[in-house]
Homo-oligomer: A and B are copies of this chain.
Amino acid sequence: MLQGTASSNAPDPVGRGVHARRRILSAALELLADAGMRGFTMEAVARQAGASKATLYRHWPSASALLVDAMDAQFRPAPQPSTGDLRADLVAILDGFVRALTDTPFPRLMAAFIDAAERYPELADLHTELTRRRRAPALRLLADAQARGEITLDIDPDVIVDLLAAPFFYRRFVAHRPIPADLPAVVVDRVLATMRTRDKTPDDIPKDLPRPQERAPSARTATRRQRGRHDRQERGRQ
């Protein structure tokens, strides 16, 4: 699948080798998260893993091959919520994003991926694939809801998923501002509001859902500014 990797296709070797391999893959990700591509050296990985440099080169022909394997091994498929309540399920998915972006080392790893993908084509391909897998649950929810007649998908569903997922990554990696706890609900409501079918709206949808034209007044207080330490004052120059 991804060329350049020495052993991702082969069955895991038996015996003592497995342990060294796993230690090395974990160490590679730790280093990448801690120090980015600058800290990702074969020497440092070997040190961190308590392994010999020779062992690294026995398993992977190059640092980038090791990195691809490490990225691939790290991925955990996202859960697929399916309570039948589209809004709740989407919010659950986005809540998972928020947790991953705030309470785990994932964002530091992600930032390194973003940078690495820009410069190593094989990493860009893998990054694309991993992102595709992360998006699959939301895409499926939308397709199911459309099949039930709950929503009208008159545009590319991938764009809808973009609208849903993008704000969280943007806040974390570009705007560097805190993510309000209710942002998943706010985003889902905004996006769903443009897709509800007039004729059929299931009863299990919360009634205070802010439909356009007849919005619940609570959305305002729910999203009160909420700025933290990232709020900065004006700078002197332009």
Residues in A lying within 8 Å of B, measured CB to CB: 1, 9, 35-38, 77, 107-108, 111-112, 114-119, 124-125, 127-129, 131-133, 135, 152, 154-156, 158-159, 162-163, 165-167, 169-171, 173-177, 180, 183, 186-187, 190-191, 193-196, 198, 210-213, 215, 217-220, 223-226, 230, 232, 235-236, 238
Contact = CB atoms under 8 A, between A and B. Distances in A.
A224 B156 CA distance: 7
Given A152-B215, A159-B223, A238 B115 contact: no
A175 B232 contact: no
Nearest to A173: B114
Contacts of A226: 156
Identical copies in the complex: 2
Contacts of A196: 212-213
A219 B155 contact: yes
Contact of A115 (B36, B167, B169, B218): B36
16 contacts: A9-B236, A77-B238, A108-B118, A111-B118, A115-B115, A131-B176, A156-B180, A156-B225, A156-B226, A165-B170, A166-B166, A166-B171, A170-B170, A194-B194, A194-B212, A198-B213
